[in-house]
Structure 1
Amino acid sequence: MAVINHEACDCPGRRKADCAHLTYRVVFREAGVVREVPFKRLEDAESFALGVERRKDLGARLDPAAGRRAFADVWVEWVEAGVLEESTRRNYQSVYDNHFGQTFGSIEMARIAPADIERWEAGQRRRGYAENGVNGRRNVLSSVFNYAVAAEIIGRNPCRKVNPHRHTGKPLTPITDADIPAIEEVMGIIAEAPKLIRAVFWAMAGCGMRPGEALAVSDASMNWDRGIIAVDHQVSAYGCQEISGSRRGVKRGTKSRTSGEVRRAPVPHSIRQVFDDHVDAYGVWGDRGWFFESPRLNDRHPSYDWFLAQFKEAATNAGTPQYTPKSFRHFFVSEAIHSGIPLFEIAAWVGHRTTRTTELIYGHLVRRSMHQGALVMHNRLGLDFASPRASIPLLMPKSPVDGDTAELWGDAV
């Protein structure tokens, strides 16, 4: 990416407009070499930088030899570029072996076109893979190409051409009251949930966890004394941990967080009791003391897709089929906002990067809370502005002007 740097010259302010110094420098990479081009005016530098990026998109400023590297080679470089847990590496290796290697492995990076991505997606669907799995693997594929663009191996990510209406970032959709279940509806769905994973439902409603995060609760993540949980693992919806084709992989890290980041959320006493009862009934497994285990395979996490099917069945049996696991998260945030908990706290608990995300999704709830806050302060101050001669206490003593003021301050005057 071309960057514009500015270094002010030593000329007096009145002379700067006429001086000959080239104070703007466009820094960019070309064929693996860092280059600088100086300019006198900012608009000229911006125009040149824009041209650099445009030519890079067209492949005119790339090293042709870099684009001839095979996808398999760049894949290995992409995996090695991050600090990954061993289980995550196994996940990626399984995804590559089962979904990418045969199709893209030996092809040169510069020769992979948007049409190739479209054919790969169509082949995935013909093989019967669920849509969320296809989308997840496409996101991984797009990450590899994004890395290749940043490393100036190729000029453009071919995944971005698959759907011209698809934005690089998924737009945030504000929720409505219809998206938030009432407490009675939440309890009804939980009552219909299988006992083996009922505590997962409680974790979503009572702690604001995403489904994959709730499935990855463990004894190691719980601070029982303080009632705090460290949310740093999630059950993946695709890939595998050790077995090819399994959808029971767990990885360190959560949405919008790297493998080394941990967010913490409060665990109500009632939810701690639910977890405690679950452990007493079913025990724990694995090195971290995982709470939830597959109903069919020992020492394996429940399948993400299986859990979604169980939630859908429970919601249908409870007479509220319109709700999804995300509805429980909406319930948690809604209750927190109505209780007056600061937005920055709520955002940290549920894993939003900033409060802006919380405001965009739950905007109408925030506005209601603001109105409620104004009403509370109005009542707290105890002022009756409806009266034509409302009695408003003075904040600072003033010199007596008439009898009323003298009477108000008494001995002070």
Structure 2
Amino acid sequence: MATIKKEDCTCPRRKKPTCPHKPYRVTYREPGGRAGKPRQVSFKRSEDADAFAIKVEREKDLGTYVNPKSGQRTFESVWQEWVSAGTLEESSKANYASVYRNHYGPFFGKTPIGSINPEKINAWEADQKERGYKPNGIQVRANILSSVFNYAVNAEIIGRNPCRKANPRKNKGGTTVTPVTDSDIPTMSEVLGIIAEAPKFVRAGLWSMAGCGTRPGEALALSEDSMDWDRGILTVDHQVSAFGCQEISGFRRGVKRGTKHRTYDEARQTPVAESIVEVFNDHIDAFGSWGERGWFFESPRLEQRHPSYDWFLTQFKTAASAAGTPQYTPKSFRHFFVSEAIHNGIPLFEVAAWVGHRTTRTTELVYGHLVRRAMDRGARTVENRLGLNLAPFKGLIIPVPASPLEEDAEDWDDVA
């Protein structure tokens, strides 16, 4: 049990209220019985010492005790430990470093992590809103923040995650994905307009996004080896990144094996229409390929190097502006692919597998309004198929009465 001992200081009585000494010393052992390490904490007031003694014993009983000194570590040091604890790729670490500089460092950086409470979390969210960030982006960063505190709890640095009680009115069923709306999806004529304005050298990449659902980085990593030309199947297992795999590209920026939500040795496959297979063949005939895998795209400035995403984005924006649709981004072509697949009745689990979503739940959340429309079309299809044919049977379907009929009431009375 924790004990409290008063050790009076030598300061004159009139100076005791303002002197720096802490006469009330709480002595206790960390969990583990006699093997627990003895600890001492001093307080200025007896009330604070009593409260701490009760608190530490209760936490030991509940199994939630954490060494108070651990909570004195700065949020910055715990963040760095959290980033280094996993097996993140260099590109992810660079993204986290940017997020920390812009969103967490200025607000939490040098603050002891044990002193960050729900009020501090709410203040951070309010600051994010004042800086003009969108709710969805704030929620994503709040989830990352909560993951850091969860790590600190599991590592016994702090006792509780302050994000859990930061906003009790927040909708726990909310999502961290941005739903796609009709305005985010180009029409077929708009897709064709942008591709027509794009340089011929990049059109195969645009068609792979609009016709195969690839991400921009995946489109830039198209190669002859990734195509099954006879069956019309594209294997998506590489992507162009700012932090490419040294073994493959030989440079820090280049192509790397593995895609989003997929490990190094995993890949996904997506069908390729005959017309797009022809586009790919025409691209190789016109511009050739390079490297052992037969990469489709090469940097316009550096030989035997992959083009950067920034260069590809510039080509797309220029073409979209020239086509009169500057609101679209390369990802809009991917939205077009998913929209067409859902509209044409492709099962949702197939669409999710083709575009590389973790589960069909992600597809439902992002493209929810399209899924709901597909449900309506399904109901109408069933109605058209069965509704007209049920007419001859309507007179033969007799519902079972829920209670005895009035004319049988006397018979039931006799039975009773």
TM over 0.5, shorter chain: yes
Out of 184, 189, 192, the residue aligned to residue 187 of structure 1 is 192
Out of 261, 282, 285, the residue aligned to residue 280 of structure 1 is 285
Out of 262, 266, 269, the residue aligned to residue 274 of structure 2 is 269
Out of 346, 349, 352, the residue aligned to residue 354 of structure 2 is 349
Residue 392 of structure 1 corresponds to 393
Residue 334 of structure 1 corresponds to 339
Out of 318, 322, 327, the residue aligned to residue 317 of structure 1 is 322
The answer to whether the aligner puts 1:203 opposite 2:208 as a matched pair is: yes
Contact 1:148–1:154, Cα closer than 8 Å, also in 2: yes
Deviation at 1:171, TM superposition (A): 2.1
Residue 238 of structure 2 corresponds to 233
Aligned partners of 2:287, 2:59: CA distance in 1, in Å?
A: 61
Contact 2:289–2:297, Cα closer than 8 Å, also in 1: yes
Residue 61 of structure 1 corresponds to 66
Q: Which amino acid aligns with 1:358?
A: T
Q: Which amino acid aligns with 2:356?
A: G
Q: Which amino acid aligns with 2:276?
A: I
Q: Could you say if the C-alpha distance between residues 63 and 215 of structure 1 is closer, same or farther in structure 2, counting changes exceeding 3 Å?
A: farther
Out of 161, 171, 180, the residue aligned to residue 175 of structure 1 is 180
After superposition, what is the alpha-carbon deviation per residue over 1:72-93, rounded to whole angstroms, capped at 9, x for unaligned? 99979976954x8xxx56x689
SS class of match (2:393): coil
Aligned partners of 1:147, 1:285: CA distance in 2, in Å?
A: 45
Aligned partners of 1:196, 1:306: CA distance in 2, in Å?
A: 12
Percent pairwise identity: 60
SS class of match (2:235): strand
Superposed CA RMSD in Å reads 5.2
Out of 215, 229, 235, the residue aligned to residue 224 of structure 1 is 229
Aligned partners of 1:221, 1:253: CA distance in 2, in Å?
A: 13
Q: Could you say if the C-alpha distance between residues 97 and 346 of structure 1 is closer, same or farther in structure 2, counting changes exceeding 3 Å?
A: closer
After superposition, what is the alpha-carbon deviation per residue over 1:367-393, rounded to whole angstroms, capped at 9, x for unaligned? 2222222222222336167xxxx3239
TM-score by length of 2: 0.57
Aligned partners of 2:396, 2:275: CA distance in 1, in Å?
A: 46
Contact 1:92–1:239, Cα closer than 8 Å, also in 2: no
Q: Could you say if the C-alpha distance between residues 360 and 170 of structure 1 is closer, same or farther in structure 2, counting changes exceeding 3 Å?
A: closer
Contact 1:32–1:63, Cα closer than 8 Å, also in 2: no
The answer to whether the aligner puts 1:295 opposite 2:300 as a matched pair is: yes
Q: Which amino acid aligns with 2:290?
A: W
Total equivalences in the alignment: 314
Contact 1:230–1:263, Cα closer than 8 Å, also in 2: yes
Structure 2 counterparts to residues 112-191 of structure 1, below 5 A: 151=155, 171-191=176-196
Aligned partners of 1:365, 1:97: CA distance in 2, in Å?
A: 36
Residue 16 of structure 2 corresponds to none
Deviation at 1:270, TM superposition (A): 1.4
Q: Could you say if the C-alpha distance between residues 65 and 206 of structure 1 is closer, same or farther in structure 2, counting changes exceeding 3 Å?
A: same
SS class of match (1:251): strand
After superposition, what is the alpha-carbon deviation per residue over 1:229-282, rounded to whole angstroms, capped at 9, x for unaligned? 22122222x44555xxx8843232222223232221111111111112212222
Gaps of 5+ in 2: 1-29, 33-54, 125-142, 165-170, 398-416
Structure 2 counterparts to residues 6-17 of structure 1, below 5 A: none
Deviation at 1:318, TM superposition (A): 0.5
Q: Could you say if the C-alpha distance between residues 142 and 171 of structure 1 is closer, same or farther in structure 2, counting changes exceeding 3 Å?
A: closer
The answer to whether the aligner puts 1:363 opposite 2:364 as a matched pair is: no
Aligned partners of 2:68, 2:292: CA distance in 1, in Å?
A: 47
Deviation at 1:150, TM superposition (A): 5.2
After superposition, what is the alpha-carbon deviation per residue over 1:120-170, rounded to whole angstroms, capped at 9, x for unaligned? xxxxxxxxxxxxxxxxxxx9999999867755578899999xxxxxx9997
Aligned partners of 1:52, 1:274: CA distance in 2, in Å?
A: 67
